[in-house]
Structure 1
Amino acid sequence: MTPQKMGVVITTYNQPKWLKNVLFGYEAQRHNNFTVIIADDGSGQPTREVIEFFQARGKLTIQHIWHEDKGFQKCQILNKAIAQTDCDYLIFTDGDCIPEPDFISIHQSLAEPGYFLSGGYVKLTTSVSDAITEADIASGVIFNIDWLKKAGQPTNHKLWKLIKNKTIKALLNAITPTKATWNGMNSSTWTSDIKACNGFNEDMQYGGLDRELGERLYNHGLKGKQVRYSVNCLHLDHPRAYDNPETWKKNYAIRNDVKRTGRFWAENGIIKSTPQSH
């Protein structure tokens, strides 16, 4: 079964420079039948101006889902975006991740009932992130390994994700020891399955909140498909204001409880209700 209506959910918070480059990446997609859903956790006017700039260009269908800035509420804004969409299949990524030109089409072609896709990303250095231009994104040259090396990106095995040979990509997916987990930079599944788990757990703060959804999707009966070499994005580097050990500790406790109990329903999710009513 092929998804009929694709949506890409992009989370953002006051990073207009990076969001602009990301949206140039979606303008450059070879497959153009999809909706961009920007889940905005309270950004100010500069972000709104970036979104209006792309809406005026008319190349993308954009929905801007915004709420007031009350601190880190990524799960809340994601749930609002999920609740409002009419797309039957959703890709989740971040406003600092530039998609490769076939990003949407590969997710669509690999989508399969009963599965979620766990894609890959290549984390760029700060200097390479800053050097990328609109023209570089439009041409797709930034996904060329040699171009990245010349721009100053360190040479290591992580660049293998950008190898073009599909046979080698499939082999690397098969032999990688990394489990197929839900990561917020590059994962996708059916909207109905996310809603069946009541979306994201709004008790989760910064640190592993995406993984927790993946663990509940597993509990719901889905399997993860490892495609980290098949579909990728470039992760732009910037500081992270919300990273602290206390929230990680709290989030690990929630995730451990999900594993221990085998539950899939997020009590504090899209719908505010107890598991007993479902």
Structure 2
Amino acid sequence: MAHSTLPISATILVKNAQDTLRECLDSLREFDEIILLDNGSSDETLTIAREFNATYGNLVIHTSGFIGFGALKNLAVSYARNDWIFSIDSDEVLESATLARLKELFGVPKGADSKDRDSKTSESSALDSQTPQTPQTPPPNTLFALPRKNLYKGEWIKACGWYPDFVTRIFHKGYTRFNDHLVHESIILPQDSKLMRLECGLRHYAYDNITHLLQKLQAYSSLWAEQNTHKSASPLKAITRSIWSFVRSYAFKKGFLYGYKGFIISVCNALGVFFKYMKLYEIKLPKKPHSCSLIITTYNQKERLALVLDSVRDLAVLPTEVLIADDGSREDTRELIESYARDFPCPLRHIWHEDRGFRLSAIRNAAIREAKGEYLIIIDGDMILHPFFVADHLAFAAPRVFVQGSRVIVDSPTSESMLQERQEGEKSEKSAYKRVFALGGLKAKRCGLLSRLVYATSRVDSKVFAKRELIKGIRGCNMSFFKSDCEAINGFNEGFVGWGREDSEFVARFLFAGGALRRLKFGALAYHIYHPENTRDLLESNHQIYLETIRTKATFCQKGLR
């Protein structure tokens, strides 16, 4: 390295920077080294870089895909041979006064010119070659911040938060580095660092026009949202913060002094804030399923099943498919299902196994294995569905969330009347089930506001078992979850035979695996056709299986889907 050059490596990230790169590089010609890291340019950027190097010989070109601005800048620094780094953007130009000041700070002799770096004709050059001198450099913990003149359409804008704009750009690579932010990266400032602000700095060709401004706004707001998923976001926050951004830029930071340019910059500042938070809000929205399987369990209740299938046929939003999980019904149930399947509005399949007693877990698992939907809704074969039943379940679907729906009990006289009417008009009357929609009080009514409130405030996780043994209100007659979450805990426990606790045990494993239970009321309404309760002869033995799951905090059952 000749003493006439700055003992600093300048690093530049470039992508399609042909409009500003030539002037940027020309301002760096007296640096000992320039590291240019290209991010896939398709214009004349690399041609300009090679022409510059042919003249000055101090530029090295490297390439990389986009890995985030912070990571790219650290990568460029890793290629530098000097300890001191000057990071500059391709749309920035180092002012001549700043260059002169850096020469003073780094001990470069006055009057030295990079064009004479290899000359050995003068007596002083010969003397230098015989007596090497180390240029004076600042302590490694010194960092330098430079003021930027931000230009819009060539005009220096001293408002809208664009001035003063100090950027820390010069540092010792053995002392610190850039953080790894995708966008709005910065140099890490250790506690013992000393920041020196120079009085002269950079000229920054920030934006050429509105199109240029909007293009950067969209790109940077997307990267910001991807980077800040730990933050909260909402439409209200996006609106209020964007309004405040405009008021602050245009009024308090005097954007109005620059006419239409100040107005455009202030509006785009506000839009940038709005899109940042709205994009973050969309990223943080729960994943919604693309497909849904409705599983209906049944056992020798074809009359009730017919009413249920009538209600499914009339749903406002249909599931991707309907699977009848049949725990060993007689031939008449199969015939009923086949008659419906001929003209049903979505695929209707019959999943059956032999009648060997109450084996609800086993037939559910059989249906789940056959299900093609990403999301599963499971009901009993005596639950009449509100027209928005599936739509409501999908609206509240979220990964690792078990949604517990509620039921509305239909009294015995109404149930018998519906069944009688459906049987008498089996070929012509398909709307007998609709009378249930007029039953019940507030609990039987659909209300979006109340359902969202209950859902938001009803979260239960595995910590609940430190206080209680059993979660009340777990009912398998109306529940939903992602199929992948069900598979992760191996489905329903087929160790349960007879009625009782199979649903509670499934939910316990779901929670121990890191999931959550949320309740859905005033939405996804299902009306339970009255019938005598199942025998509870095996409840005690089933309860012991459940207690063992609680005791061991099991997340997997040995006899399940797999």
TM-score scaled to structure 1, two decimals?
Answer: 0.85
Q: Partners in 2 of 1:220 and 1:176 — Cα distance?
A: 19
Helix, strand or coil: the match of 2:294? strand
> Could you say what secondary structure the match of 1:58 adopts?
coil
Structure 1 residues 34 and 182, CA gap change in structure 2 (3 angstroms) = farther
Return the offset for 1:174.
6.0
1:186-201 to 2 correspondence within 5 Å?
Answer: 186-201=478-493
Name which of 325, 344, 347 aligns with 1:61.
347
Aligned position for 1:4: 290
Structure 2 unaligned regions, length at least 5:
1-286, 423-429, 461-470
Mapped partners of 2:480, 2:319: distance in 1 = 16
Percent of aligned pairs sharing the same letter:
31
Number of matched residues? 255
Higher relative contact order (CA closer than 8 Å, sequence separation 6+): 1
Which residue type is aligned with residue 218 of structure 1? L
Q: 1:249 Cα deviation (Å)?
A: 0.5
Return the match for 1:257 from 548, 555, 561.
Answer: 548
- Within 2, Cα distance between the matches of 1:73 and 1:120? 23
For the residues of structure 1 that align with 2:301 and 2:435, how far apart are their CA atoms? 23
Deviations 1:228-260 (A, max 9, x none): 3322200111134x5124x11111111111111
Does structure 2 conserve the Cα–Cα contact (< 8 Å) formed by 1:161 and 1:169?
no
Corresponding position: 1:212 with 2:505: yes
| CA distance, structure 1, for counterparts of residue 458 and residue 432 of structure 2 | 30
Contact 1:38–1:63 (8 Å) recurs in 2: yes
Residue aligning to 2:477: 185
Q: State the match for 1:163 in structure 2.
A: 445
Q: Displacement, 1:183? A: 2.0
Matches within 5 A, 1:216-231: 216-231=509-524
Q: 2:437 aligns with which of 120, 143, 152?
A: 143
Contact 1:106–1:231 (CA under 8 A) maintained in structure 2 = yes
Partner secondary structure for residue 226 of structure 1: strand
Contact 2:458 2:518 in 1 (8 A): no
Deviates most, 16-25 or 247-256: 247-256
Note closer, same or farther for the CA distance 1:192–1:180 as it changes in structure 2 (3 Å cut): farther
8 Å Cα contact 1:161-1:232 kept in structure 2: no
| Structure possessing the higher radius of gyration over alpha carbons | 2
Q: Distance in 2 between matches of 1:6 and 1:26?
A: 13
* Correspondence 1:33-52 to 2 at 5 A: 33-52=319-338
Cα shift readout 1:143-180 (whole Å, capped 9, x = no counterpart): 22xxx2xxxxxx6xxx3222233223444556779968
Give the aligned partner of residue 558 of structure 2: 267
Alpha carbons 1:182, 1:213 under 8 Å: kept: no
Unaligned runs of 5+ in 1: 149-154, 272-278
Q: 1:99 matched to which residue of 2?
A: 385
CA distance in 2: counterparts of 1:15 and 1:104, whole angstroms: 23
Query: Are the counterparts in 2 of residues 118 and 180 from structure 1 also a CA contact under 8 Å?
Result: no
Cα deviation, 1:20-69, whole Å, max 9, x if unaligned, reads 00000100100124210110011011111110111122323111100111
TM-score w.r.t. length of structure 2: 0.43
Residue matched to 2:158: none
Deviation at 1:207, TM superposition (A): 1.0
Amino acid at match of 1:161: K
In structure 2, distance between residues paired with 1:84 and 1:207: 25
